[in-house]
Structure 1
């Protein structure tokens, strides 16, 4: 079944309805007065806020805040760049430290090698001194033998003189052989 719409016709104004109209008017007046008070209550703080927001101190504060933000951004960029530079410098320092360690190790090895060469040189000098002494003794022995040979040859023994003449050419190679053997030992 379809809904039925009922329409009421306006009632004629009577005493009873007149008081209702008056009470409704008075309600509208109260409501409008309340709305005006609310609007004024909101409008007054809004005006005060607008005046303060547009004041010179507020504008200067806003400019100062913007400058601070700009300076802060620049400082953050500089800090980031400085951190990158620091990381690079630390990498270079690590490389330098490693190079120093390597060079120190090489220097210690060279010092050890130098000391080894120095001790070997001293050993060789002692050997050369010993060989010089042996050579000196061999030269003295050869000189003594030569003097003995001359002494024997003055006495005139031909058999011993002929054998000593054979020994004389052999004596030099024997002495050289003994000297070289001692040198190589």
Structure 2
């Protein structure tokens, strides 16, 4: 369910609960204080059903989704896995439409390992096209947002100053394997983004 529809769904369930309570009142079914209290609580109970359903779906998704280590192995194969607090992943689709997106705050050794991937070369893809790979999935909260020199208004944690886009297509079975290397900014360690598509 799209998040934009969640509020209206809660309202609809609340109104449905009020309708049922009104029908029970009209039919004369509310003859005791206990039944009247239950009728007052009914709309609020109905409104909690979508919230409960969303919580259960989120829990199921977190339980059955592959962890960061599995996604890292899917991207790069066997090898050392960076600390979890330096990685953000998301994955979509299966088979020929499989797409895995990674944001990594790499150590110098991890950065050198990625730059030494087989077939690593400059890509013709623009920084804006690379950024679109994550933005179209709604990952603009942590996905790369390219910035150009001289731009002062930036969002911490997402901006990628003067990104350089590389490719290593065919690496580890991926049809497209694109890497965005961000320039160092204000002394911070630059972030690195990977977008792999199609297996």
TM-score range, shorter chain: under 0.3
TM-score, length-scaled by structure 1: 0.27
Structure with max Cα Rg: 1
TM-score, length-normalised on structure 2? 0.25
Report the structure, 1 or 2, having the larger helix content. 1
